[in-house]
Amino acid sequence: MADKSLFEKAESLGLNYLQQSLDRHVYPLSEDLSNLAHFEESMPEKSGNTHAILDLLDKYGSPATVSQVGGRYFGFVNGSVVPAGLAAKNLSIFWDQNSAMQVISPISAKLESIVESWLKDIFELPDETVAGFVSGTSMANLCGILAARFRILKNQGWNITEKGLFGAPRIRIVTGKHAHSTILKTISMAGLGKGNIEWVDVDDQGRIEYPKIPTLDASTLLILQAGNVNSGSFDNLSAICKKAKESGAWIHIDGAFGLWAGATKKLKYLTEGLEWADSYAVDGHKTLNTPYDSGIVLCQDREALVSALHMEGDYLIKGNLRDGMYFTPEMSRRARVVELWATMKYLGKEGIDEMVTGMHERAKQFASLLSDIPGFNVLNEVVFNQVMVQCNSDTLTHSVMKKVQENRVCWVGGSMWKGKKVIRISICSWTTTEKDILISVQSFRQALQESTMET
């Protein structure tokens, strides 16, 4: 029998951590980072004490975490966690389910089917759309691009599953110059070659200039963006997708954090035209605030997705509901749908709308307050949850960012925009309050004053 007290202790330590997460410093202190040396040792020869292992993790591991579950982590688009989702994940860990087949985990198969239908509902996608539950948008993008590769070649009489890429007809790839780095990564992984991309110019917000999209045809993979990683901007899906669809091109939308705008009333205009695309990538662990990891690929062409990720074996047992392995690259896969289901069930449509719209409101508040401080220049139209800030020089921008990070009141990251350094602020936590923004803006103000005095 398992030691019940061990799991009670783990739960107690975890709850203590959560209770402190909203008020603690966002980034580990230097002392906390140095204390990670306590984990350095040779592989133990003998079995250890389980309670001592938890004590070690809590004493030196907990302080060395980044508090992204709190309300002032703005560094990357890393969401917080809705309590219902976190609690459900903890329960599912005890289940230890493999989502490969219905016969292996009936509960996983059932919840995947339900969440698939919910996603089609809130994004208003056609009934034939299928979902695969993967680790994140990087993998979801790969799945969508592999499905596109299968369909484009199949339509030209080439079965890539049997023949491979050697000698295959050429696939055209068209995307904007601000495509996310994971798009380039997945194009490379799919064997299509980054050097084959036909780049389209973007406007001052990073949106594709759609009149400049080259003539498309049935050999084309068009990749669009719902949420620029720096500016938060959306390609004009309503102006692009229907016309592109009529050309026979495959349309894939990278909507890692931005696709959730389609689940709101106020921001839904950003995703108008979404239904004309063929495949989509979106994360739960970003804007929806499910625990890590939770990525989703959505595809209107079931045959293309399943064929691209095909799985065969005489020993496999097909279920009458759903076998998750046909919609993802992995066979063995944690039942991550449990916490996704729990989060969506708890929030409902109104809760998701309120949470996502709230992130937008906090981003607008942050941008407005920074704009009122001489020395800060907000560069982007805050259409979603991203804010880009620049000071009077690259040196000053970098110095302010580093001081904000060192102050640990909040945490932000840096990026490049039009060849110059910017501070990038991502609002993606349900716990972020108006007060959190006020405290964070004060940290920015202090960092600017200190940096200006040093230059």
Q: Tens of pLDDT along 420-448?
A: 999 999 999 999 999 999 999 999 999 99
8 Å CB contact between 256 and 227: yes
Q: What tokens does 71 get?
A: 């309300």
**pLDDT value for 69:** 93
Closest by alpha carbon to 144, among 333, 281, 306?
A: 281
Contact criterion met (CB below 8 Å) for 293 and 336: yes
Of the pLDDT bands very low, low, confident and very high (cuts 50, 70, 90), residue 1 is low
pLDDT in tens, 337-379: 999 999 999 999 999 999 999 999 999 999 999 999 999 999 9
Sequence-separated (6 or more) residues with CB below 8 Å from residue 154 = 160, 304, 307
Tokens of 425: 């602020």
Q: How many Cβ atoms from other residues are within 10 Å of residue 449's Cβ?
A: 14
Whether 135 shows a pLDDT value over 80: the answer reads yes
Return the pLDDT at 314: 77
pLDDT tens-place string over residues 143-200: 999 999 999 999 999 999 999 999 999 999 999 999 999 999 999 999 999 999 999 9
Given this model, what pLDDT does residue 317 score?
Answer: 83
Its sign, for the CA torsion 315, 321, 327, 328, is: negative
Tokens 């209770």 belong to residue:
19
Q: What is the pLDDT of residue 435?
A: 97
Mean pLDDT throughout 313-331? 88
CA dist 189 and 164 (Å) reads: 14
| Domain spans, the chain | 88-343
Gap between the Cα atoms of 233 and 255, Å rounded = 11
Query: pTM for this one?
Result: 0.96
Q: What is the mean pLDDT of the chain?
A: 96
Question: Residues 217-259: pLDDT tens digits?
Answer: 999 999 999 999 999 999 999 999 999 999 999 999 999 999 9
Q: What pLDDT, on a 0 to 100 scale, did the predictor assign at position 416?
A: 97
When pLDDT is averaged across residues 249-276 and rounded to a whole number, the result is 98
Q: How confident is the model at residue 22 (pLDDT cuts 50, 70, 90)?
A: confident
Domain covering 88-343 in this structure, CATH number: 3.40.640.10
With 90 as the cut, is the pLDDT of residue 201 above it? yes
pLDDT band at 80 (very low <50, low <70, confident <90, very high): very high
Give the chain as a 3 state SS string: CCCHHHHHHHHHHHHHHHHHHCCCCCCCCHHHHHHHHHHCCCCCCCCCCHHHHHHHHHHHHHHHCCCCCCCCECCCCCCCCCHHHHHHHHHHHHHCCECCCCCCCHHHHHHHHHHHHHHHHHHCCCCCCEEEEECCHHHHHHHHHHHHHHHHHHCCCCCHHHHCCCCCCCCEEEEECCCCHHHHHHHHHCCCCHHHEEEECECCCCCECHHHCCCCCCCEEEEEEECCCCCCCECCHHHHHHHHHHCCCEEEEECCCHHHHHHCCCCHHHHCCHHHCCEEEEECCCCCCCCCCCEEEEECCHHHHHHHCCCCCCCCCCCCCCCHHHHCCCCCCECCHHHHHHHHHHHHHHHHHHHHHHHHHHHHHHHHHHHCCCCCEECCCCCCCEEEEECCCHHHHHHHHHHHHHHCCCECEEEEECCEEEEEEECCCCCCCHHHHHHHHHHHHHHHHHHHHHC
Tokens 């219905």 sit on residue: 102
Q: Which two tokens stand for residue 41?
A: 């040792």
Q: Determine the Cα–Cα distance for residues 327 and 274; give it in Å rounded to an integer.
A: 21
Q: What is the mean pLDDT of residues 61-84?
A: 95
Residue 241 tokens read as 């997708």
